[in-house]
Structure 1
Amino acid sequence: MATLSAVLATTHHPFFLKATELTPPEEQMPQAPEWKRKVEAYRETLTAAEPDILVMVGADHFHQFFHDNYPTFLIGKQPTYDATYYNEEREFSIPRYVLDGHEELSGFMLQGLLDRGFDFSVSHELKLDHSIICPIITTRPDGDLPVVPIYTNIFAPPLPSPKRFWDLGRAIREIIDEYPSDKRIAAVGSGHLSLELGGPRQFGETGPDPVFDRQAIEWLSNGDIDSILANVTHESMSGSGNATHGFMDLILMMGIAGPEKAAYVDDLDLFHTMEAYFTWYPSGDPRERTASR
């Protein structure tokens, strides 16, 4: 059977590469050096897991799907994926990527999800946006591993419940564990903490709801799904910022890992958002084995 070697949950800030690599040092924001150090340390948590395939979880930012036809859950099944839309290149300086797909695992996962009551859409012509490419840039910038992309609806109401995202994560975990292969699979997903897009709280000194951000980091760090489901609703997320529903993708990632403490946790408070980074090792922490050699 396949090995789930790591689960990574992260925020996805589209300006990371521009702020830390593409801007001259004398013009960079004050947090840029620390941001780069933190991301490089986080990247090592994936490298240590030695994955062969990446299951990537994100959401389309109205590039390919819109209110008239936005799938609740979707999986890509194709040999390659083009990535990065023109506005992302123009505004964020995100480079173009072409990522290999893994059609066999996509098909196996699609059937397994259908069997578990998740009526997934499937796309054979999916183009990826920054919800998946930002984590590629921060955790696997060479883009050298095949991917299985999963998109969720966190933008176009009506939305699934936080519990549904948790249950989907648990189902994905079961399917990875059952995949008949000797491959090492890592799951990497991105979402949001409190976030305001286009609203009056977008450019504050911190994220729009620092109290929620700190509580959410604690919940995810401890694998505390009971507290999340008791406190996080669509209404509470809206109160924390109009795009905070991206937190449900972080719930999904914790669902893949299980209700366990994260092996690695870090965060960085930027001027209008809290960035956060979590890694779980369901098969044991490979960094401990390396240290004992």
Structure 2
Amino acid sequence: MLATTHHPFYLKATQLTPPEERMPQADEWRRKVEAYRETLTAAEPDVLVMVGADHFHQFFADNYPAFLIGKQPIYDATFYNEEREFSIPPFLLQGHEELSGFLLQGLLDRGFDMAVSHELKLDHSIICPIITTRPDADLPVVPIYTNIFAPPLPSPKRFWQLGRAIREVIDAWPSDLTVAAVGSGHLSLELGGPRQFGETGPDPVFDRQAIEWLSKGNIEAILENVTFESMSGAGNATHGFMDLILMMGIAGPIEASYVDDLDLFHTREMYMTWTPEQDGAVLA
């Protein structure tokens, strides 16, 4: 199971900008991402369950599902504004309808009333982790979208519970295929606010604590300390941290096998992998 932040400028900053014009951290950033990628490559997955969130491209405050799963043969990806602003190329990703359907029914059976889409287009919350962990985009995906943007939001505890349920369902999938779960979210993050362009993320204390909690599998500390209000205080887009809680839920309350991070000028990037003992169809 892999959890990562998703910085939409990664490709542009490290590869598409001429070397003499790149940010000072570009080479280190690329080295860290490529090292992190090896934790997925080594697992030799057959299918990727991808956790992310729609950035108001197709869901809005008037109709934003709490949790949604895609179920279709092909996913079109990358919206025009992402191509224009971030230089993220368009993608076509193969879906895995069998696993989507099995997850959907299994989560319904476990008390999660998932929305389902047969016309889902993916944005950079899914594509950025594809670029950083599987740039060949050669594996079928099952996308799961969460509401981290349009209050009222599900609670951190609910994200944790959904992660645990996803793990149960994948473990029960009667298949020989190896499933990897890759999810992206945020640490402290400010978008359009006064703390957006600081030398670090808007709340370095939260960032250090969050990485420590996740890396140690300390769900008790997370549920005791992380609330809607505390995340708002750390930055107006920090609620994406709940997708990282969901990923720890899939892994379970265990220590991470790989942890790395990088301070950029307005955010801290984080890369984490959990490698639980294989059980059924699930891998790390």
- Determine which of 101, 105, 109 is the counterpart of 2:95: 101
Structure 2: how far apart are the matches of 1:203 and 1:263? 32
Q: CA deviation at 1:166?
A: 0.1
Matched, 1:177 2:171: yes
Matched residue type, 2:209 = Q
Partner of 1:83: 77
CA deviation profile, 1:189-217 (whole Å, cap 9, x unmatched): 00000000010101111000000000000
Matched residue type, 1:104 = E
Matched, 1:235 2:226: no
Once the two structures are superposed, the pairs formed by residues 1-293 of structure 1 within 5 Å of their partners are 7-283=1-277
Structure 1 unpaired stretches of 5+: 1-6, 285-293
Q: CA deviation at 1:102?
A: 0.2
Structure 2: how far apart are the matches of 1:282 and 1:94? 33
SS of the residue 1:74 aligns to: strand
Partner of 1:291: none
Q: Tell me the percent identity.
A: 85
Structure 2: how far apart are the matches of 1:157 and 1:89? 28
Matched residue type, 1:158 = P
Matched residue type, 2:179 = I
SS of the residue 2:241 aligns to: helix
Q: CA deviation at 1:282?
A: 1.6
**Stretches of 4+ aligned residues off by more than 6 angstroms:** none
Matched residue type, 1:153 = N
SS of the residue 1:21 aligns to: helix
TM-score by length of 2: 0.97
Structure 2: how far apart are the matches of 1:216 and 1:49? 26
Q: CA deviation at 1:50?
A: 0.4
Give the root-mean-square deviation of aligned CA atoms: 0.5
SS of the residue 2:16 aligns to: coil
SS of the residue 1:55 aligns to: strand
Pairs aligned (count): 278
Structure 2 unpaired stretches of 5+: 279-284
Matched residue type, 1:88 = E
Structure 1: how far apart are the matches of 2:55 and 2:256? 28
Q: CA deviation at 1:128?
A: 0.0
Matched residue type, 1:233 = T
Q: CA deviation at 1:55?
A: 0.1
TM-score by length of 1: 0.94
Structure 1: how far apart are the matches of 2:215 and 2:103? 27
Matched residue type, 2:99 = L
Matched residue type, 1:24 = P
CA deviation profile, 1:115-143 (whole Å, cap 9, x unmatched): 00000000000000000000000000010
